[in-house]
Chain A
Amino acid sequence: MTVPLIFLTFFGAAALWFAIVVFRTHSMVRSALALLFSQTAVGAMFLVMQAEFLGVLQIMMMATEMSVMAIFMVMFMMDPGGLGEMEMTHQKKRSLWAGGIGFAAALALAWAGNWGPEATVIPQAARQTELLGIELLGRSMFIFESAGLTILTAMIAATMVAIAPEKAKQPKTVPQKTAPQHKGHSHDH
């Protein structure tokens, strides 16, 4: 057992455990924060695997994302604290089978695959960040820009979908206003 292996196992187990907690707890806020800690553990795994920039980025991004997820859960659920212990699953058995088969297949591939020789020379963290920048603004610039454009489009589209439609308000207010006036006007005609 080497030191990175121990840390990798520890953070991997933490990520897995928190991932299971996500679907086992009844409290929605706990569920969202368990997902956050699972993702943070994934970020820590990146740090163990010497991808420092990506690890820190993952840890930073997920804090925000999952907090937003938590507030949406609180907004959408009748019982975000999970005190009523309501059932929120369907086709449980089939899902368990699907998840199990997916896990087993990936696990078998992970251990049976011939991955070739291990790379030994890893660039220093500062050099990695520099190389990543050169990659992003060099060969992969188009892909990177497409990703940026995609996220902009998604933001605009999501906002458009989410904004309250103006038309829905009018039918409710218009009859109420005209109804009392109707009698008064009828004398004029």
Chain B
Amino acid sequence: MSFFTEFPSLGRRELADFKQGIDEGFRTFSRAYGEDLEAFFNPLLKFMVWFEKLLTDAPWPLVILCVALLTWLGARSWKITLGSILSFLAIGYLDMWEDTMATLAIISVATILCISIGIPLGILMARFNRAQTFITPVLDVMQTIPSFVYLIPVVMLLGIGKVPGLLAVCIYALPPIVRLTNLGIRLVDRDVMEAADAFGASTKEKLFGVQIPLALPNIFAGVNQTIMMALSMVVVASMIGVNGLGVPVLRAISNQYLALGLMNGLAIVVLAIIFDRVSQTYGKRLQAYRENGHG
């Protein structure tokens, strides 16, 4: 009767061999290709180092001026611009300037990377149902698998540092932009698409002239979500050697420094709010045509 009370599992030895086989295989792979991969990511690493240095070395008033200018250009709102200036002043006053700059650097790079991969991928998914069938489960895995699990192979391959950190952030932050680009394009009004067809628009003309412009609200929601998710990965990324606001948070956790944790945590929140408001108002501004509708 033991068949029913104990699950007929793989024997202990076989299981150990099975796991070991996988580990060994990956280690061999990592030994064989680890250096090539590192070389492949080297330009990215150099760019990230350069960008972070740029932000931390620049005189702080200049940085604040740039931030103010960008928020103004994006949101065209005094409230948001003033809010971001005050937030950055407070961050600097509480001595979190350098960490904030480092975080800003990695978030920006991660966002740019996610957008440049995610939007084309989303377009591909909208275009071909088969692509959607294949990509959707991958996105599901990327979003739900605990980040520590994919940190293991990433660290095995690339060691600790900025690049593995960036990869970890991107794996988590990529799915929303892909999903929402796909959704946005699929939601474009069929009547409008038919009209474009009837006037002889080519696939390219339809994509850039009709589908992407009309999908922009959704694409922007995707960008926004991607930024938010990247920010939420800051602490995890700091575990594998990424500088920034995550490092003091990690220190605060292990030493029970309440104030330190709270301050740096709130700095992350502030960054998130600024990014969110700016990208959302910019997205809204792009679709002024939707207002004063007749229905």
A binds B: no
Q: Interface of A with B (CB < 8 Å)?
A: none
Q: Interface of B with A (CB < 8 Å)?
A: none
